[in-house]
Amino acid sequence: MRFAIVILNWNGKQLLEQFLPSVIAHSEGADIYVADNASTDDSVAFIREQYPQVKIVQNKENGGYAKGYNDALQHIDTDVYCLLNSDVEVTEGWLDPINTAFESNRNIAIIQPKILDYKRKEYFEYAGAAGGFIDLFGYPFCRGRVFQSLEKDEGQYDDTIDIFWASGACLFVRSIVFWELCGFDEEYFAHQEEIDFCWRVKNQDYKILYVGSSKVYHVGGATLSNMNPQKTFLNFRNSLFSITKNLPKRKVFPILFARLVLDGIAGLRFILQFKFGHFFAILKAHFSFYLRLKRIFKKRGVIPKRKKYFSKTSIVWSYFVLNEKKFNNLIKD
């Protein structure tokens, strides 16, 4: 199969200097692209000078992750896109298990490799870890990472399994499926657009896999730290977008009401921790969502009425009340 590795860049010369060499060294047979989101630094000139074998797609504006990839991928002809963050180090042979998995079943639309922490390489990384899931209320979590708790990689997730969502830090997707579903929803701008996309893929009965025999290392937070209130805003708001777009109609408003309560509790917790910026980010997220509710609701596609989408009733209850911090202890229901 033809692979195109597409790295989205915005003023990221330093990251490209550090991580592009591993992609070039370990991606034989794949085409490598940098999709530039209207950078104002000299990263494009750097690529042209130092790595002429890397192809460049220049977007006219910085549309964030969603629009950035939507715009760039229109210009790339391939069987499989690999959407790769610019702060990811890949490893030798990382593409082989991915190719094998895609070849095994044409209904596999998306694959994620094992994502480990570049700074602590024996631990899983926040963005994706060993494959993503969501609970009944739409809160995402991963094997190897639940909220801020990261597991050590001891081979417990070296398998290949079906997952609910794959991380946008390193996401392989068949090009035909990407365009069948019209790509990412640009209203998200950044964060959780991959969860929405994967949910739409699931609603069309495609498969999403985690392949633990393929491994990459992700810095994480190179663009926006996990502790940044802007990331809190985007994560909370965009999660509400996904619920509205992808749940069966009869479930949407009961779940949204539950999220109003649960997100309010999260806001109170931030107040008690004196993290007032995050508290206001949650308020802002809900107001931003309610202003867009009618428009978001109109984006709903074909949605199965009875298919179970969640792997846990309440990740919030299990984590904060029952003190269950590891994935394998969580999944009992």
Q: What is the CATH number of the domain that holds 73?
A: 3.90.550.10
Name which of 320, 309, 332 is nearest 140 in CA terms.
Answer: 309
- Cβ contacts of residue 21 below 8 Å, gap of 6+? none
H-assigned helices in the chain:
13-25, 43-50, 64-73, 95-104, 175-180, 193-203, 229-246, 249-272, 276-297, 315-316, 327-330
Same domain, yes or no: 213 and 235: no
Same domain, yes or no: 130 and 152: yes
Same domain, yes or no: 257 and 154: no
Q: Tens digit of pLDDT for each residue in 165-214?
A: 999 999 999 999 999 999 999 999 888 999 999 999 999 999 999 999 99
Structural domain boundaries enclosing 183: 3-218
Number of domains in the chain: 2
Same domain, yes or no: 69 and 189: yes
pLDDT of residue 221: 63
Across the range 31-51, mean pLDDT stands at 97
Same domain, yes or no: 237 and 198: no
Same domain, yes or no: 214 and 234: no
pLDDT higher at 333 or 23: 23
Q: Tens digit of pLDDT for each residue in 237-276?
A: 999 999 999 999 999 999 999 999 999 999 999 999 999 9
Phi then psi for 259, rounded to 5 degrees?
Answer: -65, -35
Across the range 224-230, mean pLDDT stands at 73
Q: Tens digit of pLDDT for each residue in 47-89?
A: 999 999 999 999 999 999 999 999 999 999 999 999 999 999 9
Confidence bin at 226 (pLDDT 50/70/90): low
Helix axes 13-25, 43-50, angle to 10 degrees: 30
Same domain, yes or no: 58 and 182: yes
Q: What number of H helices and E strands is found in the chain?
A: 11, 13
In a domain, 224, yes or no: no
In a domain, 268, yes or no: yes
Same domain, yes or no: 295 and 200: no
Give yes or no for residue 227 having a pLDDT over 90: no
Average pLDDT, the chain: 94
Alpha carbon distance 327, 283 (integer Å): 29
Same domain, yes or no: 239 and 106: no
Give yes or no for residue 223 having a pLDDT over 70: no
How far is the CA of 330 from the CAs of 144, 311, 326, in angstroms? Answer: 11, 9, 6
pLDDT higher at 189 or 134: 134
- The model's pTM is 0.94
pLDDT of residue 225: 55
